[in-house]
């Protein structure tokens, strides 16, 4: 039995996670606007909610739940996407504006998938695109108008914020505080400055869809409410996203969904990940410290290393990306991958599961992995790395020892560990026997002052001798 505890932003408490319907555990996470390459900060919710997704799937097996349904949307309706397509068309690109928008979003989605795959994130079960659910959004907006929560004005449809008493509960602010704090757009046709757009008109060259209010396009917030409802129902378990989305995006999602489906609960648990900095500073183009996931991959920082660095910090704390952390993560993972080469797949180590179940304490989970590595329990280490999304069954090419198979590397690594232990225990006879045995098997070892020993094959390398030496010690 795995008892998961999560900090619920809605109640500001750490609570036991109890699925609404154990046959189908449901999670919705706000996805990217598919306009450009994912920058490093965008990778944080990807990794955080992938860890949660993997933990839920593990708990489902252990607790006898049914399936887990994970939905993450693609926002492919956006003024920046439209502007970019228009710019391309004016620069002479062939095709209609719709074609160019489609090209841009398809390309960006392919980049996003390549980046998130490299980070070891499982693809969600559903990745709805806003443009495929316009009908559901129009229906929800009509429903909100009929119930008195929205109104048409000047070709727009706006949500009447003051018609929903719970507005501001998630972020813990009053409407008047929000007006004072936010840069709200004061359009003359709004009944109240806080009212937000559900539908807006599209002029001549802008893309649009037919609606009862004329040709137009949906606002951003209605997307998530409509797609979550279509794919997960009126009430589901977890809603996640970056802390930057809590207000106004998530407040608006709650208002829309609660008013359209007053008998539902929308999401029961809200999880927000904190933001990312780089070398102690906010990432920004003007500071020159702005980079994408792809930039790092292209510089030779493996996806597993990026993921490891993210897991070092708890998701509710701000995290700092540093080159030094990446270097240390690279060293640790290289060691671990070489250690698990020989091991067989077993269940993850219970303390690693317990750490994740305690509000996704990934830092503690990694500490437990270090302990497994030091204790020589490589099978449990392997099982734990699978759960953490750091190992998919194949040692990544960058962590392999040239010329050695994973099993051979595992034998050598294990022997070196035994040799070092023997030395520590001042059992020099055993240490010498291992050294002699490796020499007989044709393994040349170079001990380094700093870091893992390096090794290579001599001409007389014989894996059977190596195996026999391993068996004797």
Note the helical H segments in 271-361.
293-298, 303-311, 323-339, 350-357
CB 456 within 8 A of CB 408: no
- 30 versus 47: smaller Cβ distance to Zn ion: 30
CB 380 within 8 A of CB 342: no
Query: How are beta strands 276-278 and 266-273 bridged, if at all?
Result: unpaired
- Shortest reach from residue 80's CB to Zn ion, in Å: 17
Residue-by-residue DSSP string for 74-127: BB---HHHHHHHHHHHHTT--S-HHHHHHHHHHHHHHHHHHHHHHTTPPPPSB-
For Zn ion, which residue has the nearest CB? 224
List interacting residues with Zn ion (CB under 5 A). 30, 224
- 161 versus 267: smaller Cβ distance to Zn ion: 267
- 10 versus 457: smaller Cβ distance to Zn ion: 10
- 71 versus 385: smaller Cβ distance to Zn ion: 71
In angstroms, rounded to a whole number, what is the distance separating the alpha carbons of residues 446 and 211? 72
What are 203's two structure tokens? 């002029």
- Shortest reach from residue 242's CB to Zn ion, in Å: 10
Which CA distances in Å does 116 have to 13, 177, 470?
A: 30, 37, 39
Can you tell me whether residue 273 is helix, strand or coil?
A: strand
- 251 versus 414: smaller Cβ distance to Zn ion: 251
- Shortest reach from residue 74's CB to Zn ion, in Å: 11
What are 301's two structure tokens? 């920082």
- 46 versus 59: smaller Cβ distance to Zn ion: 46
- Shortest reach from residue 225's CB to Zn ion, in Å: 8
- Shortest reach from residue 115's CB to Zn ion, in Å: 20
* SS3 assignment for 13-66: EEEECCCCCCCEEEEEECCCECCCCCEHHHHHHHHHHHHHHHHHHHHHHHHCCC
- 224 versus 438: smaller Cβ distance to Zn ion: 224
- Shortest reach from residue 247's CB to Zn ion, in Å: 12
Query: How are beta strands 319-321 and 276-278 bridged, if at all?
Result: parallel
In angstroms, rounded to a whole number, what is the distance separating the alpha carbons of residues 60 and 4? 11
- Shortest reach from residue 224's CB to Zn ion, in Å: 3
- Shortest reach from residue 253's CB to Zn ion, in Å: 6
Query: How are beta strands 454-457 and 443-446 bridged, if at all?
Result: antiparallel
- 223 versus 406: smaller Cβ distance to Zn ion: 223
- Shortest reach from residue 417's CB to Zn ion, in Å: 48
- 60 versus 224: smaller Cβ distance to Zn ion: 224
């Amino acid at each position: 039995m795995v008892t998961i505890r999560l900090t619920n932003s809605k109640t500001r408490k750490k609570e036991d996670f109890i699925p609404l319907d154990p046959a189908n555990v449901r999670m919705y996470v706000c996805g990217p606007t598919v306009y450009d390459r994912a920058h490093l900060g965008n990778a944080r919710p990807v990794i955080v909610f992938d860890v949660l997704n993997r933990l839920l799937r593990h708990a489902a097996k252990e607790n006898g739940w049914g399936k887990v349904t994970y939905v993450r949307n693609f926002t492919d309706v956006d003024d920046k996407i439209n502007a970019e397509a228009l710019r391309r068309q004016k620069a002479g690109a062939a095709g209609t504006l719709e074609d160019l928008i489609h090209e841009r979003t398809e390309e960006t989605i392919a980049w996003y998938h390549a980046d998130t795959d490299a980070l070891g994130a499982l693809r969600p079960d559903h990745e709805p695109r806003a443009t495929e659910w316009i009908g559901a959004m129009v229906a929800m907006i009509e429903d909100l108008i009929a119930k008195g929560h929205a109104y048409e004005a000047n070709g727009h449809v706006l949500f009447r914020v003051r018609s929903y008493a719970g507005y501001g509960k998630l972020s813990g602010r009053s409407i008047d505080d929000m007006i004072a704090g936010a840069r709200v757009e004061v359009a003359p046709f709004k009944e109240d400055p806080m009212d937000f757009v559900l539908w807006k008109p599209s002029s001549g060259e802008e893309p649009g869809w037919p609606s009862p209010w004329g040709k137009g396009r949906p606002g951003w917030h209605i997307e998530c409410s409509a797609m979550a409802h279509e794919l997960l129902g009126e009430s589901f378990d977890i809603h996640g996203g970056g802390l930057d989305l809590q207000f106004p995006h998530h407040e608006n999602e709650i208002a829309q969904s609660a008013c359209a489906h007053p008998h539902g609960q929308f999401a029961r648990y809200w999880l927000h990940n904190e933001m990312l900095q780089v070398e102690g500073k906010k990432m920004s183009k003007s500071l020159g410290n702005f980079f994408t996931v792809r930039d790092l991959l292209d510089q030779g920082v493996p996806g597993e290393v990026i993921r490891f660095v993210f897991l070092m910090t708890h998701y509710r704390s701000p995290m700092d990306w540093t080159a030094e952390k990446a270097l240390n993560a690279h060293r640790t993972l290289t060691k671990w991958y070489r250690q698990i080469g020989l091991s067989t797949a077993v269940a993850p180590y219970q303390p690693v599961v317990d750490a994740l179940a305690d509000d996704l304490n990934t830092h503690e989970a990694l500490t437990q992995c270090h302990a497994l590595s030091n204790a020589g329990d490589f099978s449990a280490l392997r099982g734990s790395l699978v759960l953490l999304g750091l190992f998919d069954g194949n040692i990544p090419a960058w962590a392999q020892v040239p010329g050695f198979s994973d099993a051979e590397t595992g034998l050598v690594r294990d022997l070196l560990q035994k040799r070092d232990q023997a030395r520590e225990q001042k059992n020099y006879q055993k240490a010498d026997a291992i050294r002699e045995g490796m020499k007989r098997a044709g393994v040349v070892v170079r001990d380094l002052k700093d870091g893992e020993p390096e090794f290579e094959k001599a001409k007389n390398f014989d894996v059977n001798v190596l195996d026999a030496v391993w068996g004797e010690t």
